[in-house]
A = this chain, B = another copy of it.
Amino acid sequence: MAAASTTNARSAQRRGALRLPATRFDKRLGEILNHATDVFCRKGYEGASMRDLSRASGMSLAGLYYYFQSKERLLFLIQKHTFTTIVERLKARLEGMSNPEQRIRILILNHLEYFLSNQAAMKVLSHEDDALKNGFASEVAAIKREYYRICVGLLDELKHERGLQFSTRIAVLSLFGMMNWIYTWHNSRVDADADELARQMSEIFLRGVMNGGRARR
Interfacial residues, chain A to chain B (CB-CB below 8 A): 44, 46-47, 127, 129, 131, 166-167, 169-171, 173-174, 176-182, 184-185, 191-192, 197, 199-201, 203-209, 211-212, 215-217
Contact = CB atoms under 8 A, between A and B. Distances in A.
Contacts of A199: 215-217
A166 to B, nearest CB: 7
A179 B181 CA distance: 10
Contacts of A203: 166, 208, 215-216
Given A176-B181, A177-B177, A215-B199, A171 B204 contact: yes
Nearest to A204: B208
Of the listed residues A131, A171, A177, the one surrounded by the most CB atoms of chain B closer than 10 A to its CB is: A177
Contacts of A169: 191
Given A173-B185, A178-B178, A180-B181, A204 B201 contact: no
Contacts of A182: 173, 177
Contact of A200 (B127, B170, B176, B206): B170
B197 A204 contact: no
Nearest to A176: B181
Identify whether the interface residues of A are mostly helix, strand, loop, or mixed. helix
Contact of A201 (B131, B174, B176, B192): B174
A37 to B, nearest CB: 17
Of the listed residues A167, A179, A203, A205, the one surrounded by the most CB atoms of chain B closer than 10 A to its CB is: A203
A27 to B, nearest CB: 31
A180 B180 CA distance: 10
B170 A181 contact: no
Contacts of A131: 44, 47
Given A205-B204, A207-B208, A181 B171 contact: no
Given A177-B179, A177-B180, A179-B177, A204 B209 contact: yes
A217 B131 CA distance: 42
A166 B196 CA distance: 12
B166 A200 contact: yes
A184 to B, nearest CB: 6
